[in-house]
Amino acid sequence: MRAFVAIELEASIKDGITALLARLRRCDCAVRWVKPEGIHLTLKFLGDISPDLALKVRSEMDRVAGRHDGIAMEVAGTGTFAPRSRSPRVIWVGVIQNSALARLQADLDKSLEKLGFRREKRRFHPHLTVGRIKAPRGLEPVLEALSEYSETSFGRMAVSRLTLFESILKPTGAEYSRIHTSELI
């Protein structure tokens, strides 16, 4: 199974992002938009794992969650990866970096290393991917709209659990199935 560990978003935050996506989708551009129900904050992408390894991941998630209090998180801002490039590849909605969220992600990354998953070399940049750019054609209106939302807050929420998802790739886009949740203390 293709899997990842993530934080699910509250419905009110998804509603705000859905409104933004409705505006962006009106642009005639080559972007594959993420379905609103699939938007999440990825903490660790695992790739293809066996059912046996998934059980071990679940145990590590439970241990990590048991070491962390709930976390306040704010979803705000928009942008692209490669931000100053003429051909960005990803459109995102931001998550305000905070030390508790960074510690949770680092603890999860370190714990899963024991199971053979490589630790991230890049600094954790929390974000919600909302679109993948296939070609730069027609992108200017999207970039203009994103700049209007660059400081917009989509809401705050309390993070209370980690979720292990299975990602099923389909021609219509990825679909996610919840496999396990681990409650923070």
Q: First CA to last CA across the chain, in angstroms?
A: 28
Q: DSSP letters of the chain?
A: -EEEEEEEPPHHHHHHHHHHHHHHHTS-SEEEEPPGGG-EEEEEEEEE--HHHHHHHHHHHHHHHTT---EEEEEEEEEEESTTSSS--EEEEEE---HHHHHHHHHHHHHHHTTTPPPP-SPP--EEEEEEEEE-TT-HHHHHHHHHTTT-EEEEEEE-EEEEEEEE--TT--EEEEEEEEE--
Q: Structural domain of residue 150, as residue ranges? A: 2-183
Tell me what pLDDT residue 87 has.
Answer: 80
Tell me what pLDDT residue 13 has.
Answer: 98
Tell me what pLDDT residue 172 has.
Answer: 83
Indicate which CATH number applies to the domain containing 71.
3.90.1140.10
pTM over 0.75: yes
Series of mean pLDDT values for 10-residue runs along the chain (185 residues): 98 97 94 94 98 98 98 97 81 97 98 97 95 92 95 98 96 92 97
What the block records as the tokens of 86 is 């003429």
Tell me what pLDDT residue 84 has.
Answer: 67
Residue 15 backbone phi and psi in degrees, to 5: -60, -45
The total number of structural domains in the chain stands at 1
